[in-house]
Amino acid sequence: MYDPKPGDRLDSLDTPSMIVDLGVMEENIRKLFELLKPTGVNIRPHLKTTKSPVLGRKLIDAGAKGGRVAKLSKAEIMAAEGIDDILITCEIIGPVKVARLIELFRAHAKVQTVIDSAIGATAINNAIKDAGIGAPIQVLIDLDHISKLDYLKLIGIQGYEGHLQHIHGREARKSECQRSMAILSDTASMLRKNGYDMSVVTTGGTGTAEFCATFAGITEVQPGSFIFMDSDYRNAVGTYFSRSLTILSIVISKSSSERRVTVDAGLKSLTTDSGFAEPKGMPGVKYTSMGDEHGWLEWEEGADIPIGARVEMIPSHIDPTVNLHDVYYAHRNGIIEEIWPVATRGKVQ
């Protein structure tokens, strides 16, 4: 039975497999904290990238303040695995989700969530009251307002400048980020002057965190993709962080053309919403998806890729690509050291 284990070599893996170079990943983590820690802001990484409590704990051990997830289902798994200082960044709407939030809050009091409507805020408030939970849940406004509700404790505001993360050119990205931070900071100041607690002003991503962290009034940043990177981020922000994650594939066929081969990684292994993946270490060779299970490698000259050659593919967009795989094979110098389940894969509720 095929059963990879720590200590096995990468060349023993079947394909496609998701692999992580531990040395590169650890250097990315070191660089992020080296860059941001001196600013004094809290670092709350977005765990929608890794979808892994194991990696969440590694980031906390490196100095992160808990984690951030997009969906309630992800928070449930992270909390069950010991990561209980969690901010849920999508609004909790509807009786089913509100009931699940209350049970999560009952078990893990450090859970925080965001609100941006009186409907959502009132439903959560009333559910906590009806459940007989004495303490209020901590909430952040997602750039909106809150009424006086006894079972919600407002602690700050969240804003995410997602539309700026992939602006090419550092100065252009910095300038646009500072405009967004001014809106966020001014809103927090206005609310603070009106008597609201704004002790947390949280924002930022991999493409903007360094700028957000130095803007007056920002207390927390939320980068995520830095740990693995992808070609889309690399094209926008450069090479300060390196690409530590690849999808290992194999050449399974050679066409009548002398400059095209087929690999066993298609749409079920690599997403294409941000463009096609890139073959690692193969300048001049281009990948094109050709369906669910296969892709082409094509080149103009200077390459000869035989059947059976193993090729590492660099994803164009990390987060949804990780969501296609069950496990990470984490290696150092070609030897597998750890195998991590993608624990929140498919958790979209």
**Domain parsing of the chain, residue ranges:** 10-17+240-341, 23-227
Q: CATH 2.60.120.580: does it fit domain 10-17+240-341?
A: no
φ, ψ of residue 155 to 5 degrees: the values are -120, -5
Fold match, 10-17+240-341 / 23-227: no
Q: Strand order in 112-115's β-sheet?
A: 42-43, 220-221, 200-203, 152-158, 137-141, 112-115, 86-88, 67-69
237-261: per-residue pLDDT in tens? 999 999 999 999 999 999 877 899 9
Alpha-carbon span 287 to 131, nearest angstrom: 54
pLDDT at 144: 47
Token readout for 153 is 């404790």
Single pTM value for the model = 0.95
Q: Are 68 and 44 in contact (CB under 8 A)?
A: yes
What is the pLDDT at residue 303? 80
- In the CATH hierarchy, which top-level class contains the domain 23-227? alpha beta
Least confident interval from 1-5, 144-148, 205-209, 268-272: 144-148
pLDDT higher than threshold 70 for residue 143: no
Whether the per-residue pLDDT at 145 is higher than 80: the answer is no
